[in-house]
Amino acid sequence: MSEKIVATNRKARFEYFILESYEAGISLMGSEIKSVRAGQMSLGEAYVKIEDGKQAWLVGAHIAPYDPASRFGHNPTRNRRLLLNKREIRKIWNEVRMKGVTVIPLRVYLTHGLAKVEIGLAKGKKLYDKRETIAKRDAQRRSNED
């Protein structure tokens, strides 16, 4: 399977424990998919919002305007619909309501010409958990140097 990673949310795994992940399609305009294919996308402040257990939206993701299509350009931070099964949306919605988890995008990638986003159910880490993550990363770095 050939897939090209376009954008990753590097802070996600540092700030949150990822409990479960899903793959969703993204509904994009023509100029947006061209920008995504060119790697002009950022997930820095993005999150997923679910409306009444019926629709999922990617909010706050930045897709840079595509220069050759500037006349028909798009709003770089508009909300984009995520394409998931009703069953998956309902399951995620129940997790958010009952357990108080957050839904965040982990990465965006292209597979077989289609843009997909990997979203994760996440629970926030406490400060001591983040320190533990930093310590493990430093230990791993030291062991690789030897």
Q: Is 127 helix (H, G, I), strand (E, B) or coil?
A: helix
DSSP string of 90-112?
A: HHHHHHHHHH--EEEEEEEEEET
Could you tell me the pTM of the whole model? 0.81
Residue 22 scores a pLDDT above 80:
yes
Stretch 138-144: mean pLDDT? 89
- Please identify which residue in the block is written with the tokens 């399951």: 91
Q: Using an 8 Å Cβ cutoff, are 6 and 115 in contact?
A: yes
Backbone angles phi, psi at 40, to 5 degrees: -95, 60
Query: Measured on CA atoms in the order 51, 28, 76, 43, is the torsion positive or negative?
Result: positive
How far lies 8's CA from each of 25, 113, 130, in Å? Answer: 16, 18, 19
> What per-residue confidence (pLDDT) applies to 1?
55
CATH number of 3-145: 2.40.280.10
56-81 pLDDT per residue, tens: 999 999 988 887 766 666 788 889 99
Q: What is the pLDDT of the chain when averaged over all its residues?
A: 88
- Please give the DSSP secondary-structure letter assigned to residue 85: -
Residue 120 has which token pair? 């994760």
Other CB atoms within a 10 A radius of the CB of residue 1 amount to 4
Q: Using an 8 Å Cβ cutoff, are 6 and 110 in contact?
A: yes
> What per-residue confidence (pLDDT) applies to 70?
65
